[in-house]
Structure formats: structure tokens, C-alpha cells
Chains A and B, each alone.
Chain A
Amino acid sequence: DAGITQSPRYKITETGRQVTLMCHQTWSHSYMFWYRQDLGHGLRLIYYSAAADITDKGEVPDGYVVSRSKTENFPLTLESATRSQTSVYFCASSPRVDLYGYTFGSGTRLTVV
């Protein structure tokens, strides 16, 4: 299916565990992003990537790791999950951020217990 897909849709994990959220897009968009959405904070950028093998920090990168070995995939790893990382995570992509809007995935609801 064409588009941007995130998996899993829901995830419950324990404090201290490593967890990886997956993001896959079929358009070969250059730019990909990870946001988290929390009540009271809105959407905040965690990491972004301008191309394969190029990543950069956003507003709230601490505790997260990203990689982008292939253009279509942009996984987000929580190295040692904490309760404060309970959130809804959204992946997004764009072919050119100066000319086009962003396309968002449906999100992953992560609960850390």
C-alpha cells in the first residue's frame, strides 16, 4: 500500500526496556520526521532526517536514537524507556519541506509502565 505506515499501532512496555517504533514510506520522500504529541505540550519534534544517513536532533531528542540506512525507513528507538516517554508518536515525511506539506502516519500510542 502506498503511503506512510507506522508500527506497532499500540505498544505497552516496561520502564528500562528498549523499544523501537517503525516508520515506512513508499514515496521515496527525502525528509522524514518523528514527533511526539502530549497533552499540554502539543506536537514536538524529536529527530528528523534530510536523506539516508543524515539525521539531526529536534526539540526533544534525549533518550531517543534514530537511524536511516534506507530512504524509506526511519525507525525510532527508545534506548531505556521511561514513564515520561509515554506519548503518541507520529512519523511524517515530505519530498521538499520548502515547497510541500508534510504527510503524517497514523501514530503509535506508547505506554511505559
Chain B
Amino acid sequence: EVQLVQSGAEVKRPGESLRISCKGSGYSFTNYWISWVRQMPGKGLEWMGRIDPSDSYTSYSPSFQGHVTISADKSISTAYLQWSSLVASDTAMYYCARRGGTDYFYFDDWGQGTLVTVSS
């Protein structure tokens, strides 16, 4: 069974750094991109960026480029989303999602979400 298990909820202050994780299991981690998706409170889904775990090649939405960093450690089948300096507007639920496979352009499995709260 494919599973994406995300790290737990976080409460941070503005200006702090943070890294959240997404661990894949039940499949070959390096064969499937992982994307990160933001959902602000009461709002819709926003695609942030993705990583190819086989070579750590990344691409980002222009809306998020430069504000977050996506990385992966294929030795432990885990992808990460990282901020160096959080702001209040980073408060949101963050989902990781697995691409359907090579030559497929959809997300067939999702993590349970990580709630990030940034407040002074």
C-alpha cells in the first residue's frame, strides 16, 4: 500500500525557520515526483513546487520561488519543505502529493497534511 506520512503540526514565530517532511512507503520512492501543495485557511489548493527524488531536480511555482526550498533524501524515502524565515501568511495546511508516475501529470496519493501556524 502506498503511503505518504507527513510530520506533525508546527507552531512557530515569525522569522523562525522550519522544515516539514513527507515519508513515502510502499513504492519505489525515486520513481515518482513529490509535489507540495498549500491550502491557506478556508482557501483553495495552490501548487508550490516539486522534486524528482532520483536526482533532486526541483521546479517551483513563481509564487513560491525563493521563499521555500524543496529537497529530498532518497536514502530514507523522505521529501522536505523548508522555510528560512517564516511570515504570518505562511500559516496554512501543507500537503505532499505523489505524481502518478513517469509521463503522468496528476497526483494519485496524498499525505495527511501538516498544519503550520505562524504567530507572534
Is B truly associated with A?
Answer: no
Please report A residues at the B interface, Cβ cutoff 8 Å. Answer: none
Please report B residues at the A interface, Cβ cutoff 8 Å. Answer: none
